[in-house]
Amino acid sequence: MGAMIDVMIPEGQLEGTEATLQSWLVAPGDTVKKDQPLAELETDKVTMEVAAPADGVVAELIAGEGDQVSVGMLLATLGDSEAARPVETTGSQAVATVTTPDAAPVTEAVIPVDARLSPAVRRILKEHPVDLSLVQGSGKGGRVTKCDLLRYLKNVSVAVQVPVQMPVQPVMPVAAAASVDEKTVSGLAGLNSTLRPHSTMRKRIADHMVDSLLHTAPHVTSIFEADLSAIQRHRARYKTTFAEQGVKLSYTAYFIAAAARALQAVPEVNSRFHDDVLELFHDCNIGVGTALGNDGLVVPVIHQVQDLNLMGIARRLQGLTDAAYSSSLKPSDMQGGTFTISNHGVSGSLVATPIIINQPQNATLGIGKLEKRVIVKEIEGVDTMVIRPMCYISLTIDHRALDGYQTNTFLARLVNELENWPLD
């Protein structure tokens, strides 16, 4: 009898966080090849696959779909054809039961589908039949993932939601209703609504935000204003040159470059707070908040920005942004960040405060909408009203680590870099 092989999450894949086992792609008794995807995991940042460490036969699925898993946890075991004996587990059940309030359990029928598709994809296909040849798969070997299918359905304006009629509560006499929460009663009074289950990403974002704001860091925000005339002129001059090399020159690239210079001038901002020391980072690893619509938010990181020119920054930014939108970011793309930028102005916001700090960092930069405004400039000794492309720039800090001095010094340096960007 051959030795059994453990299937676990490789070290470094989750950066110390937990994940949810979204779906098994195999069943006990299946023959698998080395590096074949066995399961899909979902974290607050990415969806990833766990691959087979060797050739073999699936002996047992130990973790079940929906379980929280972490590095070092045993997920499954493999063996050779003699050693592997299928074991029925919750992770390989082919029938799912859905229970709704005041309703009998509903059992989903098993339908024959491509074995390479995850159960999540199969459930969506049952509700919304789709020709999978039209869907670009981002999984290994071009396999269509849940994110791929949801993105396709969204693009063709198909809503993957389950409308639910909330139970109607009886109208209560005023005297009897006095002891009942009126908001709860009215909220259940026959309203039509849609229940959209939280994804693992949304749950983790919620936990992360609450922990950062309420349990970890006292947040303080300072706001400056910047005239973007200089970078607007530079961008107008060079964006075609960048495009010829396949690189989009966005305003965000300028903010990243200016932030790196300001971080080097005020290194306390590029730091992490510990109970007994302030850890000052040598590299400026800048994360950029990237919204994925209703799916949530990810923060891919451009590492060692201080060593890159504008072309290098723009190229890396474009690659990471494209990967975020295609759900192909790797865990390493979002690890090691020391500072975060939220360019909330791209969706029209002038000011957002406080922008929740991306723990365990000590500060987050917010960039508001660029818009033309009338401002007063002193020209040849005369106060003159002029029109300039302006935006508000904010820095939200962990007040345990930073004070107004470092905050305002950083913002002043950042604004100076933007307003005096050389044309050549």
Mean pLDDT, residues 382-391 taken together: 96
Question: 184-209 pLDDT, tens per residue?
Answer: 333 333 567 777 787 777 787 788 78
What is the spatial distance between Cα 340 and Cα 334, in angstroms, rounded to a whole number?
11
The pLDDT, as a whole number, for residue 9 is 81
Contact 354, 219 (CB under 8 A): yes
Fold of 5-92: OB fold (Dihydrolipoamide Acetyltransferase, E2P) (2.40.50)
For residue 61, report the phi and psi dihedrals to the nearest 5 degrees.
-100, 110
What is the spatial distance between Cα 307 and Cα 305, in angstroms, rounded to a whole number?
5
Instruction: Label residue 60 by pLDDT band (50, 70, 90).
Output: confident
Contact 224, 351 (CB under 8 A): no
Mean pLDDT, residues 252-266 taken together: 98
The pLDDT, as a whole number, for residue 50 is 84
What is the spatial distance between Cα 215 and Cα 100, in angstroms, rounded to a whole number?
34
What is the spatial distance between Cα 207 and Cα 20, in angstroms, rounded to a whole number?
15
Q: Length of the chain, please?
A: 424
Instruction: Label residue 51 by pLDDT band (50, 70, 90).
Output: confident
| Domain 5-92 and domain 200-419 have a common topology | no
What is the spatial distance between Cα 385 and Cα 377, in angstroms, rounded to a whole number?
6
CATH 3.30.559.10 matches 200-419: yes
The pLDDT, as a whole number, for residue 173 is 36
Residues carrying an active site annotation: 399, 403
The pLDDT, as a whole number, for residue 116 is 58
Instruction: Label residue 176 by pLDDT band (50, 70, 90).
Output: very low
The pLDDT, as a whole number, for residue 59 is 87
For residue 136, report the phi and psi dihedrals to the nearest 5 degrees.
-80, 115
What 3-state class would DSSP assign to 92?
helix
Contact 128, 158 (CB under 8 A): yes
Per cent of the chain over pLDDT 70 is 77
Reference 2, options 86, 58, 87, 81; nearest CA is: 81
For residue 391, report the phi and psi dihedrals to the nearest 5 degrees.
-155, 155
What is the spatial distance between Cα 393 and Cα 82, in angstroms, rounded to a whole number?
65
Which residue in this structure is represented by tokens 């003699």?
A: 82
Which residue in this structure is represented by tokens 């063709």?
A: 156
Contact 108, 96 (CB under 8 A): yes
Pairing of strands 363-367, 382-398: antiparallel
DSSP for 12-77, written as a single string:
TSSTT--EEEEEES--TT-EE-TT-EEEEEE-SS-EEEEEPSSSEEEEEE-SPTT-EE-TT-EEEE
Its pTM stands at 0.62
What is the spatial distance between Cα 374 and Cα 385, in angstroms, rounded to a whole number?
6
Structure-block tokens of residue 212: 């950062």
Which residue in this structure is represented by tokens 């495009």?
A: 243
What is the spatial distance between Cα 308 and Cα 302, in angstroms, rounded to a whole number?
10
Domain ranges of the chain: 5-92, 200-419
What is the spatial distance between Cα 387 and Cα 372, in angstroms, rounded to a whole number?
6
What 3-state class would DSSP assign to 49?
strand
Contact 336, 304 (CB under 8 A): no
